[in-house]
Amino acid sequence: MSLFGGVLSVKGVAFLIFSILLVSVLGYALGRIKIKGVSLGTAGVFIVALVYGVVFYPLLSSELFVRVGENGETYVSSALKVVENLGLILFVTSVGFIAGPNFFSNFKKNFKSYVLIALVIIISGGLTCAACIAIGQNFTELNNKEFTAMLVGLLSGSLTSTPAFSAAKATAANVSPELENFISVGHGIAYLFGVVGVVLFVQLMPKLLKADMNVERSYLKAAEKEDKNKKPYDKKLFEFDEFGFFPFCVAAALGVFVGSIKGFNFSLTTTGGCLLVSLIFGHFGRFGRISVMPKEHVLKTFREFGLLLFLVGAGIAGGASFVKYFNGIYFVYGVIMTVVPMIIGFIFAKFALKLKLLNNLGSITGGMTSTPALGALIGSSGTEDVAASYAATYPVALVSVVIVSEVLILIFGQ
């Protein structure tokens, strides 16, 4: 079978599928391990995928999968990117549908809070990055442009932000083409803790604060109940299929299209597009006499399966370059850029905005643009309603982190 001008073997596809299944099994097993009540959850899949990528990526890249011409150029990274993007689409679209019914009322009520949290997190992350550049450039063998590119890459990895990563690469290329590689290396080094750090944070904070999760859930349930009272479900609506696959696929397809639209060198990306469209579908639940709301169990299944695929695809690909480019001091910079804005954002939301704990943590996952952390928070909190805070904060953070990354390169990378 021909793929991109190369040869795709059935054996290779089977090995890729086997890899996904094996990583999933081991990842979920790791995620179930609890230490003082804290576990990695689905993020355990990412850790296993990263290790798997370190060990087996060369095998995936060999003739077992795709070989092109005499030089052995491979497309395994493209295959993993398909797995990652499919997972992202499934996860984000599910989150939008789940959050939709009470998203707009919640957003209207807390609009200023969500905008401020996102801005505080991203700006503090940018300032932290700027401080690391200013201090660290005196202790590095890289020149100013290279060091700046490396640390801006670390920032995008710390916030697990693909849009910021892409924007930073484009801006760096305009300054000097070779700087793109430094952006990529920095992103890869920081991405691991960017995922795991936020996952652990949203689980640790309730325990450190000795929060009663039943009480915290009740605050969200009250808002959810008020929205549902306004929109009673009509059983007479026409459904295209029993499970709601039709509206889900329509929302996902429209989301990918909306996310691909570019203006002023910016786009919502697949994540933002799918989130926006599914929020609208979930909010209305119907268009005329046609139901556009998938069944709840379908959404939960797609959400978990999507997160799984996303972590497998991103983890295996990340593992391929993690060891090669790993540098202890840059990893420390990445940790700082993850922890500082996250803590500042949490403190600001708690004491300045007086947000309830789960609204606060949901906003943190959105402000940190952390898809895996949202999955972990849903699991540890025991409620889907935290997704509304993520969905409200995420778009503001998405735009902000792209702008901050570009500004940092333009200021320090000249």
Q: Which amino acid is at 6?
A: G
Q: How confident is the model at residue 233 (pLDDT cuts 50, 70, 90)?
A: low
DSSP 8-state secondary structure symbol assigned to residue 353: S
Q: Which residue has the higher pLDDT, 41 or 278?
A: 278
Read off the amino acid at residue 216.
E
Q: Is the pLDDT of residue 349 over 90?
A: yes
Instruction: Identify the band that residue 254 occupies on the pLDDT scale cut at 50, 70 and 90.
Output: very high
pLDDT band at 1 (very low <50, low <70, confident <90, very high): very low
Among the listed ranges 71-80, 109-118, 147-156, 374-383, which one has the minimum average pLDDT value? 71-80
Where does residue 410 rank: exposed (0-12), middle (13-18), buried (19+ CB within 10 A)? middle
Q: What is the pLDDT of residue 265?
A: 59
Average pLDDT, the chain: 82
Q: Which residue, 197, 209, 160, 199, is CA-closest to 380?
A: 199
Q: In this model, does residue 176 exceed pLDDT 50?
A: yes
Domain boundaries, the chain: 2-222+271-412
Sheet holding 6-8, edge to edge: 2-3, 6-8, 66-67
Choose between 53 and 271: higher pLDDT.
53
Over residues 239-266, mean pLDDT: 86
Token duo for residue 97: 């549908």
pLDDT value at 390 more than 90: no
Q: Does 148 or 225 have the greater pLDDT score?
A: 148
Q: How distant, in Å, are the alpha carbons of 5, 245, 376 from that of 303?
A: 34, 13, 12
Per-residue model confidence (pLDDT) at position 324 = 67
The pLDDT tens digits of the residues spanning 197-223 come to: 998 999 899 989 988 888 888 887 765
Banded model confidence at residue 232, pLDDT cuts 50, 70, 90: low
Q: What is the pLDDT of residue 2?
A: 44
Q: Is the pLDDT of residue 8 over 70?
A: no
Q: What average pLDDT does this structure show over 40-62?
A: 80
Name the DSSP letter for residue 66.
Answer: E
Q: Is the pLDDT of residue 149 over 70?
A: yes
Average pLDDT on 398-404 reads 81
Amino acid at 182: F
Which structure tokens are listed for 8? 């795709």
Question: For residue range 13-23, what is the model confidence (pLDDT) as tens digits?
Answer: 788 888 899 99
3-state SS class at 100: helix
What confidence tens digit (pLDDT) does each residue in 287-301 have?
888 888 999 899 989
pLDDT the model gives residue 224? 57
Q: 336 pLDDT band (50/70/90 cuts)? A: very high
Residues 327-338, mean pLDDT to the nearest whole number: 92
Helices of type H across 211-268? 213-230, 245-260
- pLDDT of 340 over the 80 cut: yes
Q: Where are the alpha helices (DSSP H) in 240-386?
A: 245-260, 269-284, 296-325, 328-347, 357-367, 371-381
pLDDT of 235 above 80: no
More confident residue, 41 or 49: 49
* Residue 99 to residues 215, 363, 385, 391, 395, Cα–Cα distance (Å): 20, 13, 7, 7, 14
- Helix or strand run (H / E) with residue 67: strand 66-67
Q: Which residue has the higher pLDDT, 254 or 384?
A: 254
What pLDDT shows up at residue 92? 83
pLDDT of residue 346: 96
| Rg of the chain in Å (alpha carbons) | 21
- CB 291, CB 247: distance < 8 Å: yes
Least confident of 9-23, 61-75, 78-92, 271-285: 61-75
How much is the average pLDDT of 126-149? 90
Q: What is the DSSP string of 30-59?
A: HHT--BTTB--TTHHHHHHHHHHHHHHHHH
Percent of the chain with pLDDT over 90: 25
Q: In the prediction, which pLDDT does 3 show?
A: 45
Q: What is the pTM of this model?
A: 0.73
Residue 228 pLDDT greater than 60, yes or no = no
Between vectors from CA 339 to CA 411 and to CA 116, what angle results, nearest 5°? 70
